[in-house]
Structure formats: structure tokens, C-alpha cells
Amino acid sequence: MDAYNITVVGGAGIVGREFLKLLETRKTPVKRLRLLATARSAGKVVEFRGEKITVEETSEASFSPADDVVFLSASGSASKQYAPIAQRNGSFVIDDSSAYRMDPAVPLVIPEVNADDLSWHQGIVSQPNCTTTPMVLALAPIHRVNPLRRIVVSTYQAVAGAGSAAVDGLRTETEAALAGRHEPSGTQKREIAFNAVPQIDVFDEGGYTKEEIKMANETRKILHAPDIAISATCVRIPTFFGHAMNVWAEFERPVTPAEARELIAAARGVRLIDDPAKESYPTPMDVAGTDDVLVGRLRGDSSLPGGITLWTVTDSIRKGAATNVVQVIEEAAGRGLIRR
């Protein structure tokens, strides 16, 4: 893989920092690294491969044709403002917000599932929501041989998905609650310590939140299956890292748990931890700091003969965000799609 000039918008954030760690551990070739952020974070110094890099304030003048890769890990409004500038410069842009996920001209990519979609990028590639990725990775191996018809999913999402302020918020709320006080941090819709909040993002007219709608629409786009019926309920719980979910899936033809296990076990990026006799199954604590999607509690759906239900967990900051970005860069580079 060639060494590229990489610019990160949101380089001081929780995903940006994890992205830098992954560049280190995966030994990704980097020619030059620039870190951009808001005025509040500008001036911070980050060490990368022995070099001290000062975080700069982002502006439209921050981008140039020298940027081979631009990773946007900021708000949707920031992505809408800066991605087109980098695109016009000929940069390979990866956006971590929801700004371009449903744009028909922008591929939405999980490399293990639909890497071929990178071939039609026009300068911008979007990556899925941190809950969509693990669900699709777990179900795609079966979908390839037996198309999905219907998915019902309930998520149990860690606060890290809402950023570093939410992680700090859970910590301070927990300390207060243990002392007998209720001191909401304001980082979630409700107090999160020792609680479960069934709202992530805002509600639409039909009663679903934007997070739940994202899961449905993004799954259909990634799998090129616009007719899959999907219903999601997304819940924030008081864990720091690791999104969990329970998935009920129906396919065009009946599938047995044994068939599902065999297909999932052979898939890249997914690992089965599923031995009921030994009470073996994955939890959010098992997945923090890892890149695999862990699957367990796989069994037949007792309410629907021929369907299955499974439990899955993933580190939302790694495979749910930063790891997927690094993999997109590696895949695109291997296909000659950067600076083509």
C-alpha cells in the first residue's frame, strides 16, 4: 500500500483518536498527517509515530489537492460544508456522519460485505451507523445464499457512541448516584446512570427515532435489498463501550441454527462465541478494544418457524467507526481507487 497524505477532521475526538491508534497498530503507511478540529480543540498537541502534531482549526482553506485522503469525523453539517471542497480537490473522502449515507451517488461501505461498491465512488465514501455495521456483518453471510425478508432488532448502545462527553457524563452521573444524588449530565435524553433510555436521536412522525430509521435504510442500501422489512428499537444503556443488540431475522427460505452458525463462522470480521452448555456468550466487556463482531445466543425463532434470533456485540468506536475507515482506505488503495 502506498503512503498517503491523510487529513482528519475531528482529529481530537474519540473516533479520531482511535483512528490514529489504528494507523499505528496496523502499520498503515502515512506520508503526512494533519489533524483538524473545532476552535475549542485547536492548539492541542497529539503525538503520532514520534512526531508532535498540533491540531488546527478547520476552515474551508484547510483543504488542498495535497490531501490524498480526508476522513471526516464531525457533524453532518460540517461534512456537508467540507466534503465537497475535498472532493473537488481530488481527495478520497470518507465521511463518518449521516450526511451522505443515503445519497444514491455515494457508496455506503462495509469492506467485508460490499467492497465492490467502492468502484463507483465519485470522491466521497460514506460509512454506516455504528449499529448498522454489526447487524449487517452478522446477517450478510446468510443473506448471500438465502435473502433476508424481515428483521426486528433491539439495540443496547453504549454511551461512547455519543462521544467522549457522554463517557464523562456516565462516569460523573454514576459517582453521584452511588452517593445518593441525581445529577443528570445532559449528555443523554435522560439521566443514564443505572437507567435505560429508549431514545437515541429525535422522533419522526411515525414514532421511530432517526437512529432506528438509519438502521433500516442503511441495511437495505448496503445489501442492495430495498424490500427488506425492518423494525428497530434503539436504547442507550449505562455501559461505556460496546454496542449490543438482539436480532430476529426471517429469510426467503427456512434456515436452521446449524446452517446459520456454519455460514457466520466462515465470514470475515465475525466471531461466534456461542456455547449455551457452558453459558458462553459475548458481552460488551468482551468486545471493548477489539475489531470483530461477536455473535452468540444463536437459536431458532420460537415465534416463527424457519427464522433465527441472535445476540451480537461490537466496539462502536472501533469496527463501528474507526476500524471500518482504515479498512476502507486499505481496500480502496488495494483496488487503485485513491487518486485514480
Whichever domain contains 284, its CATH number is 3.30.360.10
Whether 165 is in a domain gets the answer no
| Rounded Cα gap, residues 259 and 306, in angstroms | 11
Catalytic residue among 121, 130, 143, 234: 130
- 140 and 288 in a single domain? The answer is yes
- 140 and 90 in a single domain? The answer is no
Whether 187 is in a domain gets the answer no
**In the structure, what pLDDT confidence band is assigned to residue 249 with cuts at 50, 70 and 90?**
very high
Whether 191 is in a domain gets the answer no
- 111 and 41 in a single domain? The answer is yes
Whether 52 is in a domain gets the answer yes
- 81 and 106 in a single domain? The answer is yes
Whether 42 is in a domain gets the answer yes
- 145 and 286 in a single domain? The answer is yes
Whether 166 is in a domain gets the answer no
Are 237 and 252 within 8 A, CB to CB?
no
Cα–Cα distances (Å) from 189 to 129, 155, 292, 313, in that order, read: 19, 16, 29, 23
Q: Domain span at residue 210?
A: 132-158+196-316
| Rounded Cα gap, residues 169 and 131, in angstroms | 21
Between helix 210-223 and helix 132-143 the angle, nearest 10°, is: 30
- 120 and 143 in a single domain? The answer is no
β-pairing verdict for 4-9 and 30-37: parallel
Cα–Cα distances (Å) from 308 to 245, 253, 266, 276, 300, in that order, read: 14, 12, 18, 16, 4
- 327 and 257 in a single domain? The answer is no
What is the number of structural domains in the chain?
A: 2
Whether 186 is in a domain gets the answer no
Q: pLDDT averaged over the chain? A: 95
Q: Is 130 a catalytic residue?
A: yes
- 223 and 142 in a single domain? The answer is yes
- 113 and 20 in a single domain? The answer is yes
Are 101 and 128 within 8 A, CB to CB?
yes
| Predicted local distance difference test score (pLDDT) of residue 88 | 96
The structure's pTM equals: 0.94
Residue-wise pLDDT for 212-244, tens only, equals 999 999 999 999 999 999 999 999 999 999 999
Catalytic residue among 121, 143, 234, 243: 243
Q: Is the pLDDT of residue 340 over 60?
A: no
CA angle 34, 87, 14 (to 5 degrees): 40
- 119 and 140 in a single domain? The answer is no
Across residues 111-126, what is the average pLDDT?
Answer: 97
Whether 172 is in a domain gets the answer no
Contacts of 295 (CB under 8 A, 6+ apart): 138, 264, 270, 271, 272, 273, 274, 282, 310, 311, 312
- How would you classify residue 179: left for phi > 0, otherwise alpha for psi between -120 and 50, otherwise beta? alpha
- 92 and 136 in a single domain? The answer is no
Buried-exposed string 90-126: b where 16+ CB fall within 10 A, e elsewhere = ebbbbbbbbbbbeeeebbbbbbbbbbebbeebebbbb
Buried-exposed string 284-322: b where 16+ CB fall within 10 A, e elsewhere = beebbebbbbbbbebebbeeeeebbbbbbbbbbbbbbbb
**In the structure, what pLDDT confidence band is assigned to residue 2 with cuts at 50, 70 and 90?**
confident
CATH number at residue 23: 3.40.50.720
- 154 and 274 in a single domain? The answer is yes
